[in-house]
Amino acid sequence: MTAQTILPANTLSSGFDVANSARFESAQLLRTNSGSTATDIDKYTISVWLKRSKLGVDSNIIADTDGSNNYYQIYFKSDDTIRWQEYLGGSQSGALITNRKFRDVGAWYNLIFRYDSSLGTAGDRMRMYVNGVEETSFSTDVNPDQNANGHFGEASSQKCIADNNADGREYFGYMSEFMGVDGQSLAPDQFGEFDGDSGIWKPIDISGITQGVHGFYLKFEDSSDLGVATLGSNWTGAGLAATDQSTDTCTNNFAVLNPLVYGTNYTWSEGNLQFVQTATNWRTTYSSIAVTKGKWYMEFKGKVGAYYDIGVTDVVDPTNNLTVNSGCVAYKSNGEFAAGGAVGDGLPSTITTPASNTYTANDIMGIALDMDNETVYFAKNGTYEVNSDPTSGASKTGGTDLPNSNSLYFFAFAAYKGSAATGTAQVNFGGGSVDAISSGNADADGHGNFEFAVPSGYFALCTKNLAEYG
């Protein structure tokens, strides 16, 4: 496994910031077009930024149908390719299926779909762009007839985001800056630009684009109603809660858990912020971003009375308990500490009995990782264990030394369900929490949303902070 470090438009200070995204899981947004037909029904454009969290399943991005076998749909297929198809009278009138597979669960993609059947060149009538670059390699490439109607702008059709009206093609992951434009075929430079220094594709302000009769712009700004449109008509949400609003966006990508490296009997959910261990054996899951320097903070919450190990490691071994890794520092739910693969090695002298340091369901555990001084600190419900002080710097008061110097370190978590039905737990790297946060604490740069205060000098694990401190 490698850290997810190639992140489009996320390490840049572009001058335009996207504040929010929506996290979808068993959720959808629905809207019915008004009774008017678009002026140019043979043209439309869709642009969306998204970060996937579940692979290997059909996952709807957006679909639109008039209920009479006239529709379009755009979705990830179960093989992680993208399919965009138009149907007219129940027959396929146009279709693109990529050869490329989209399996990076740690990065944001910008997808643009551009329909213009008025064009004389057949291959220009349906065009797809990924991060500003036109996709040209397709396993299926069916061009619509000239002047064939597109179905985005049909009167009284129903649009659906993240599911095709409960047809089983649920999308799992994050979406932001979602715009549909009715009656216009717009080039990618209307939605983003390449950074002059890095060449990375980044978003720009799109609020000045005219959406047309059935267009829309979703910024997911209102946590109480994530279907509120910034421009165009509002959408009706189903399965979305206030906690599904996230600050994990295409301009500031936060760490999540990485489901691409795993042992058996693990499942991930809630935008890869929750994991479940269903077997009586230890398995470890890891953060999608690793660090070599800087100071970083995150929070962990076990949801049932299972056994947990939480901490950091430079060794990736998902099939084992975290504590067997030679590069680990781990805090066990029975109160024991482990370092370097052995319980008791390199521990603070103030730890005397495991029982004094146990944690259980719904305790919120903080992990403060000081890579500059190569030590780690743990907090239980806001109080740092063994009288430790994460702000002590080189003196490393009460901290536990990292076993290996000059290494790349991941946050890591292991679970063993024991007598519990499952070993369910949640993580929060600052981009959003599965459960509601009552306090709301950001780091000194204003990034992140945590239950407890971020120690001075520590930061949420996101690309804006990585660019400055990591």
Amino acid at 432: G
* Cα distance from N-terminal residue to C-terminal residue, the chain: 20
Q: How many CB atoms lie within 10 A of CB 231?
A: 16
pLDDT of 317 reads 81
pLDDT of 345 reads 46
- Residues 318 and 261 sit within 8 Å (Cβ to Cβ): yes
- C-alpha span between 284 and 304 (Å, rounded): 17
Q: Tokens representing 444?
A: 């000194």
Q: Specify the DSSP element, H or E, that contains 465.
A: helix 463-469
Which burial class, exposed, middle or buried, applies to 35 when counting CB atoms under 10 A from its CB (0-12, 13-18, 19+)?
exposed
- C-alpha span between 101 and 90 (Å, rounded): 27
Q: How many CB atoms lie within 10 A of CB 148?
A: 18
- Residues 275 and 267 sit within 8 Å (Cβ to Cβ): yes
Closest CA to 126 of 110, 109, 102, 150: 150
- C-alpha span between 228 and 223 (Å, rounded): 9
Q: Tokens representing 47?
A: 């642009």
- CA 269 centroid distance within chain: 11
Domain 21-246 falls under CATH 2.60.120.200? yes
Q: Which residues pair with 192 in a beta bridge?
A: 203
3-state secondary structure at position 1 = coil
Domain 266-469 falls under CATH 2.60.120.920? yes
Q: 432 to each of 48, 243, 301, 449, 450, how far by Cα in Å?
A: 20, 7, 13, 6, 8
Give every CB contact of residue 82 below 8 A, 6+ residues apart in sequence. 74, 75, 76, 96, 97, 98, 100, 102, 111, 128
Per-residue pLDDT of the chain (470 residues; tens, 9 = 90+): 333 333 333 444 457 999 999 999 999 999 998 878 777 889 999 999 999 999 999 999 999 887 678 889 999 999 999 999 999 888 899 999 999 999 999 999 999 999 999 999 999 999 999 999 999 999 999 999 999 989 888 888 889 999 866 567 899 999 999 999 999 999 999 999 999 888 999 999 999 999 998 999 999 999 999 999 999 999 999 999 999 999 999 999 999 999 887 666 788 999 999 998 877 778 889 999 999 999 999 999 998 877 899 999 998 887 778 888 889 999 988 888 888 876 654 455 444 444 457 888 999 999 999 999 999 999 999 999 878 999 999 999 989 899 999 999 999 998 887 766 677 899 999 999 999 998 999 999 999 999 999 999 999 999 999 998 86
- Residues 16 and 151 sit within 8 Å (Cβ to Cβ): no
Closest CA to 117 of 86, 73, 84: 86
pTM of the model: 0.93
Closest CA to 174 of 248, 273, 274, 268: 248
Q: Specify the DSSP element, H or E, that contains 466.
A: helix 463-469
Q: 227 to each of 48, 131, 239, 240, 419, how far by Cα in Å?
A: 15, 25, 11, 9, 41
- C-alpha span between 282 and 164 (Å, rounded): 37
Q: Where in the chain is the domain with CATH 2.60.120.200?
A: 21-246
Query: CA neighbours within 13 Å on the CB side: how many for 4?
Result: 26
- C-alpha span between 449 and 439 (Å, rounded): 9
Q: How many CB atoms lie within 10 A of CB 63?
A: 24
Give every CB contact of residue 124 below 8 A, 6+ residues apart in sequence. 116
Q: Where in the chain is the domain with CATH 2.60.120.920?
A: 266-469
- C-alpha span between 394 and 391 (Å, rounded): 9
- Residues 72 and 86 sit within 8 Å (Cβ to Cβ): yes
Q: For Cα atoms 366, 372, 374, give the angle at the middle one, nearest 5 degrees.
A: 65
pLDDT of 198 reads 84
Q: Tokens representing 350?
A: 């103030």
pLDDT of 10 reads 44
Q: Tokens representing 52?
A: 């996937």
- CA 458 centroid distance within chain: 22
Q: What DSSP string runs through 37-58?
A: PPTTTTEEEEEEEEEE---SS-
**3-state per-residue secondary structure call for 262-284:** CCCCEEEECCCCEEEECCCCCEE
3-state secondary structure at position 253 = coil
